Structure 1
Amino acid sequence: MNNIFNLSRFLQLFVKHTQEYYKTYLLSVGVIVALLATTLGYVSYLSSGNLGIKSQFTIFFCFFIGAGSIFTSMIFSDLGNSRKSIATLMLPASHFEKYLVAWIYSFLIYQLIFVLSFYAVDLLVLTVQNSGTDKKMEVLNLQTPGLTYGMALITFAVLHSLAFLGAVFFEKLHFIKTAFTVAVICLFFILINQPLASAILGIKLEKVVPLVNATLREADVRYSLEAQSSIKPIMIGMTYTIVLILWIGAYFKLKEKQV
């Protein structure tokens, strides 16, 4: 067990990683804050001070998964550099400890920093926006039905697991290669999804949105088929199971890396 995980060794590795990359991470936070401020401020300006909850959530969601995917795809960038990869792989720490540091930074710490950054900028923009009008816009509540943090989290978890595996699997251009691979796979499933669903159900479907709903047409009437509410927890559980499998796959791919 000591060869896989040792708390003292892990903490030393975590501190070393933080000391080496904190300037890069702080710069990245600065870029995100600047982009959030620009986007939220511009949308507020275009909407004449009506930056509503849905607009805030849309910006939160897009930046959350977009910035997170890019950051995650670069977390193992040192492995693509011959000199840096040797230094990384020869560190006196297990592959699991190196994997865990990268996972904590790209999944846990990223979420904390992003949420804090978003709300700091959002509060500032709304304060300025509300100061000149009687109609006060509320700050985004991530417990609002249909606009919950859980909805954003499950999307981020899927994209994080894909980007995390791609970061280990590809040596160069991690984000571009991962995004292209995912796009090809998604296109394949979209193309086969409708004929496959029609064959399973034994009826011709007009439109099928993967994992969401299916539409069939009878005469001039359209019917929408959706999963029952009791099935949705199972679908969410299956999604997180796939995420876990991809995370495990990334770990074993990292174990294959040798000096």
Structure 2
Amino acid sequence: MTANFSFSRLGKLIVKQWVENRRLYLMSTLALLGLLGIVFLIWVATNGRRYDEDSLLITGMFGLFITGAVFASTTFSMLGSKDKGIYWISFPASHAEKLLANLFFNVIVFTLVYVCCFFY
């Protein structure tokens, strides 16, 4: 294994991370849907039928920030346990590829899933 960056190895690492953590990602999506459902029920209960676009935008951005932080904390928690942390660090890929694979799921995929769930 070389420390050089490789797009093919990055793609394989992203697929590997999906296969190993798909249950976590799917359960997180269901929890996000439930949380957004509760927030919207509370919002409808307090505002009635009045629709205010500004408060919806603020609610969406605040929710994205909070749930994104919780999701990132959950996905990076694998480095906190010795057995998973040693496995992840010793995996034959460069550190840039490992970082980009985590950022792909925590930034790009999570944001797309959140926006889809929010506007669903």
TM value normalised by structure 2: 0.90
Q: Distance in 2 between matches of 1:89 and 1:80?
A: 11
Q: Distance in 2 between matches of 1:20 and 1:103?
A: 16
1:21 maps to what in 2?
Answer: 21
Is the 1:43–1:51 contact (alpha carbons within 8 Å) kept by the matching residues of 2? no
Q: How does 1:63-102 map to 2 (within 5 A)?
A: 63-102=63-102
Q: Distance in 2 between matches of 1:69 and 1:84?
A: 21
Query: Does 1:118 find its partner at 2:118?
Result: yes
1:52 maps to what in 2?
Answer: 52
Q: Distance in 2 between matches of 1:4 and 1:97?
A: 9
Deviation at 1:20, TM superposition (A): 0.8
More strand by share: 1
Structure 1 residues 91 and 78, CA, compared in 2 at 3 Å: closer, same or farther?
same
- Structure 1 residue runs without a partner (length 5+): 121-259
Across the aligned residues of Structure 1 and Structure 2, the Cα RMSD in angstroms comes to 1.4
One-letter amino acid of the structure 2 residue matched with residue 37 of structure 1: G
Deviation at 1:84, TM superposition (A): 1.0
Deviation at 1:4, TM superposition (A): 2.6
1:8 maps to what in 2?
Answer: 8
The structure having more radius of gyration, on CA atoms, is 1
Deviation at 1:114, TM superposition (A): 0.6
1:32 maps to what in 2?
Answer: 32
- Structure 2 residue runs without a partner (length 5+): none
TM value normalised by structure 1: 0.44
Q: How does 1:119-158 map to 2 (within 5 A)?
A: 119-120=119-120
Q: Distance in 1 between matches of 2:76 and 2:42?
A: 34
Percent of matched pairs sharing the same residue: 27
SS of the aligned residue for 1:75 comes to: helix
More helix by share: 2
Q: Distance in 1 between matches of 2:94 and 2:6?
A: 9
1:130 maps to what in 2?
Answer: none
Q: Distance in 1 between matches of 2:78 and 2:113?
A: 23
Moved over 6 A (4+): none
Is the 1:14–1:101 contact (alpha carbons within 8 Å) kept by the matching residues of 2? yes
Q: Which has the higher contact order (CA 8 A, sep 6+)?
A: 2
SS of the aligned residue for 1:118 comes to: helix
1:23-72 CA-to-partner distances (Å, cap 9, x unmatched) read 11111111111111111122112222113212211210110111111212
1:108-136 CA-to-partner distances (Å, cap 9, x unmatched) read 1111111111000xxxxxxxxxxxxxxxx
Is the 1:9–1:93 contact (alpha carbons within 8 Å) kept by the matching residues of 2? yes
Q: Distance in 2 between matches of 1:44 and 1:50?
A: 8
Aligned length: 119
1:62 maps to what in 2?
Answer: 62
1:137 maps to what in 2?
Answer: none
Q: Distance in 2 between matches of 1:40 and 1:63?
A: 11
